[in-house]
Amino acid sequence: MQIDYFTIVAQIINFLILVFLLRHFLYRPVIMAMDEREQKMVSRLKDAEQKIKEAGQETETLRRMKQELQDERQEMLVKSTEEVRVLKTDLTEKARAEVEASIADWYASIERQKESILTELRLRTGEEIYAISRRALQDLANEKLEAQIIDTFIQRLHEMEETEQEEIKEFYKTSGQTITVRSTFEIPDETRGIILETMRNLAGKEVKIKFETSPELISGVEMSTPDTRIGWNIASYLDTLKADLSMAFQERASGKLLTSEEKKNE
Amino acid sequence: MVELSPDEIVFWKWGFVSINETIVFTWAVMALLVFLAWFTTRRLSVEPPISHWQNLFETLIGYMDSQIQGIAQMSPDRYLPFSGTLFLFISVANLLDIVPGYRTPTSSLSTTTALAICVFFAVPIYGVAQAGIAGYLRHYAEPSILMLPFHIIGEFSRTIALAVRLFGNMMSESMLIAILLTIAPLFLPVLLELLGLLIGQVQAYIFAVLATVYIVSASSNDRKIVKDSEGGT
């Protein structure tokens, strides 16, 4: 159990040298490395926290943008739906109006065609009536009728109105004037004499009368001056009938057309 | 024949100077420690991957830091080189006991005395550096001037206790193994060798912690730490 003093001194020196060497080679570098690592870790943690914060902000921004986009999309969707609805309504209205206009045109066209056909039919009917009447009356004209016609004519001469009588007188004032008496048949001489007598009495002087036969009168007698016409014939009745029918048809057609125009406007 | 002290095996002697086994193995331990320190720290890496040795030393230093921090309640940087070297030296010296032919220098009373003397002088040096000469000397008269002789006696007695405790433990282990080898040479010495390694590490820890406590107590006004820590050994 002895103590070697030199060994003690040597060990103290050895130990101090070891402290110095380890301090230089071990503690200082290792502690520096550990401190540096710790600094880096702290720095990285701060960076990470900063990045998490930034990411959070970024996420919030993106979320807000997404929400805005969704809102905008919804708004656009609603707007476009409304526009489509309005457009559809407009187009439907236009289409309906066009269809109605076409229908109205079509109806008007149909109506016009109908009226045209009816008018033509009426005109033809009138003409046919006229032709049939004419033919029938021509067929019916015989001597008995002629005698009756002449009687009627003579009676008509006697019952002339004042103005007619004045006109005839006036007509015969000029010398050499001839009144034409047209008939569909040959007037017998006796009857001619009656007519001459009657006219002479009326004019108060000798008169000239020219007797003609005219089949266009169908059946009847007609005495005419340039200003007046006295007589009775079926042709004039038929002309009047034809004129009346034609006028009635024209009035009816124009009335119908007006009615259809009014309908269209409504 | 088992040599009780490695001091007695002298390799070279010239007058007062004698190079014995204690000094030689101390140099070996020092060389190993310094080589490993240099080898590890010559390319330290801050970022992973970290070498195994760097990892080991960082773990050790981190552990020592936390221990000193726990004792001193202040930054351990000031005390780490001294206390840490005490621990590393004693720990490695005892650990190498498993190498055949090696005898730990801590089983020499000269080595433990040298370490205790280092602690003995470190206490006032750290104390004066921390609190100034007056501040350091003042605590010898606390809580009363009557306590001064006891403080002085305490300083010497704990230094001696420090030296003898380590020496006794390490020497007894060597001696026990030597005796057991003659009685039951097959199995029992292996178990005792394992126990010896454990005791060696425990003693390294105890020596370093006590040294730190002594130094810190002299540097700090809080004497309670010393009283609390002295009881267990």
For the segment B207-230, what is each residue's pLDDT rounded down to a tens digit?
999 899 988 888 765 444 444 444
Mean of pLDDT over chain B: 84
Q: Which residue of B has its CA nearest to A35?
A: B46
Q: Which residues of chain B have pLDDT under 50?
A: 1, 222-233
Do the Cβ atoms of A30 and B57 come within 8 Å? yes
Local confidence band at A9 (pLDDT 50, 70, 90 cut-offs): very high
Do the Cβ atoms of A17 and B27 come within 8 Å? no
CA distance A74 to chain B (A): 52
Residue A263, both tokens:
């309908």
Which residues in chain A have their CB less than 8 angstroms from residue B57's CB? 26, 30
Q: Is the dihedral of CA A133, A134, A140, A146 positive or negative?
A: positive
In a 3-state reduction of DSSP, which class is residue B101? coil
> Minimal CA–CA distance to B67: which of B78, B80, B56?
B80
Say what the pLDDT of residue A98 is.
Answer: 93
Check CB contact of B62 with chain A, cutoff 8 Å.
yes
Of residues A4, A22, A30, nearest to B44 (C-beta): A30
Tens-place pLDDT, residues A136-190: 777 776 777 777 877 887 887 778 778 877 777 777 777 677 888 888 778 888 8
Say what the pLDDT of residue A100 is.
Answer: 92
Tokens 């050895």, located at residue: A14
B46 lies in some domain: yes
Q: So what's the ipTM on this one?
A: 0.88
Please, are residues A207 and A199 in contact by the beta-carbon 8 Å criterion? yes
Which residues in chain B have their CB less than 8 angstroms from residue A15's CB? 85, 89, 114-115, 118
- Say yes or no to pLDDT of A11 above 50: yes
CA distance A8 to chain B (A): 5
Say what the pLDDT of residue B232 is.
Answer: 41
Domain that holds residue B118: 6-230
Q: Is the dihedral of CA B135, B139, B142, B146 positive or negative?
A: negative
Q: Which residue of A has its CA nearest to B33?
A: A22
CA distance B144 to chain A (A): 34
Q: Write the CA distances from B31 to B22, B27, B34, integer angstroms.
A: 14, 6, 5
- Which runs of consecutive H residues, i.e. helices, occur in chain B? 21-41, 52-72, 85-95, 109-138, 148-183, 188-219, 224-230
B37 lies in some domain: yes
Say what the pLDDT of residue A70 is.
Answer: 96
- B residues 74..103 contacting A (CB < 8 A): 77, 80-82, 84-85, 88-89
B111 lies in some domain: yes
Count up the domains in chain B and report the number.
Answer: 1
- Say yes or no to pLDDT of A86 above 90: yes
Q: Which residue of B has its CA nearest to A28?
A: B81
Q: Which residue of B has its CA nearest to A15?
A: B115
Do the Cβ atoms of A19 and B82 come within 8 Å? yes
Residue A86, both tokens:
């309005």
B1 lies in some domain: no
Do the Cβ atoms of B118 and A21 come within 8 Å? no
Say what the pLDDT of residue A51 is.
Answer: 94
Tens-place pLDDT, residues A197-240: 888 887 777 788 888 888 777 677 777 776 667 776 777 777 78
> Exposed/middle/buried for B76, CB within 10 Å: 0-12, 13-18, 19+?
buried
Q: Is the dihedral of CA A251, A252, A258, A262 positive or negative?
A: positive
B24 lies in some domain: yes
B40 lies in some domain: yes
CA distance A42 to chain B (A): 13
Percent of chain A topping pLDDT 90: 35
Of residues B61, B108, B115, nearest to A15 (C-beta): B115
CA distance B103 to chain A (A): 15
**Range in A2-16, A57-71, A170-184 with the lowest mean pLDDT:** A170-184
Partners of residue B14 on adjacent β-strands: B17
